[in-house]
Structure formats: C-alpha cells, structure tokens
Amino acid sequence: MRAVRLVRFTLMPAIAAGWILSGCGSEDNPVRPPKDPPGSPYLIRSTPQNVLLNLELAYSHRDSTECQQLYDSSYVGTSQDLNDPPGTPPLHFTYYDEIGHVSTLYRTPTISSVNVSFGPPSSWNRFESGDPSHPEWAAIQIAGTSLDIQITDGSNTWQASGSAEFLEFMFKPTLDSASPTDTLWRIVRWTESRSAGP
C-alpha cells in the first residue's frame, strides 16, 4: 500500500510493504480486476450510503477504476492516532493516494485477499454537514465496533477493527440526471482517529 490507508494504524506492516512496492501511484494507471458475469455489481451513487457500499466492494475487489468514481478530485483524508506523542501531526492523503493505494493492493502478488466491511448500514450515523461553507455536504460516522478490514499477504493476515477507531466520511453532491435522485455523491473528506488509551 502506498501510504497508511483505511485503519492505517493496525495495518501498518502490510501498508509499509505496499508503500515500498507502489512507487507514486497514479490516476492515469488505474486497475480494474477481471469482471464478474455481465452487469455491474456497483450501486448508482444516488446516496452517500450507496457510495460506502460501493467502497466496501471496490476496495475488497481492489478495483481502482471504480474508486476513481467514488472519490471527489478535491478529496482530503486525515488520519490521527491520539496515542502518538503530543505534537505529532496527522497524516494527510489525496485522491491520487487513495487510487494508487488500491491499485497497489491489486498489483502486489503476495496479497491474496482484501475484505472490508463498515458494518451494517443501519449502524452508520448519517448527519447533515457540519461545515458552514459546504451545507450541501452529508456526513456518515462509523464506530470502530462496526468496522472489519482484513488483508491477507502471504501467510500473514492483517486485521483492523475495534472500539478505539472512529471514522467520518463527508460526501459532496453533484446534479446528475442519471441518478434516480438527480444527485450523485462522492467522498470529499475522510477522517480517522484512534482514541488515546492504555
């Protein structure tokens, strides 16, 4: 993996290996794994919930082409472990980092499986935007108890979950008549934090 990504703290060994293998990653070199039988497995991005369901599927299939559709080009991700020494800056990630990361997962021959679950959608907390400069955005918060991410790399399986994790996704709408709601959504912000503890 190119940089620390979804639940970056727990998966650090697999992330470090992937980062070395990935180089810079590029939107110009996305990877779509071989298709399942005809028909897209992805939902129309007509709601923020559908975007997260598509992210689970695209990440698990290591489909960077689909991920390009899920993230807004202005996307910024932030990850902070509150157990770090005071003054440790959070990690920041861009659209290109996320696409390159998923592409690296696909291209790493020792990784045999990736499984991502944010838990049942009924456990997700949806809120209106708390950003006064973007009242049209939407937010979904996910507690770590709902989260399960597993990456099998060779004989090792890395897993991330737990009550110390907290995720918040922000979604940006765009008008699009292809959507039954006349709106398509993309992830524009993502924040992960791990609470301080023993």
For the stretch 110-121, pLDDT in tens is: 999 999 999 999
194: closest CA among 30, 12, 71, 16?
12
- Residues paired with 193 in a beta bridge: 80, 166
Which element (helix H / strand E) includes 14?
Answer: helix 12-22
**What is residue 101's three-state secondary structure?**
helix
Compute the average pLDDT of residues 56-74.
Answer: 95
Q: Where are the domains of the chain?
A: 12-27+41-194
CATH of 12-27+41-194, one of 3.10.450.50, 2.130.10.10, 2.60.40.1180, 1.20.120.1760: 3.10.450.50
What's this model's pTM, rounded to 2 decimal places? 0.80
Backbone angles phi, psi at 80, to 5 degrees: -140, 130
pLDDT of res. 3:
30
DSSP at 130: -
Residues 6+ apart with CB under 8 A from 156: 13, 14
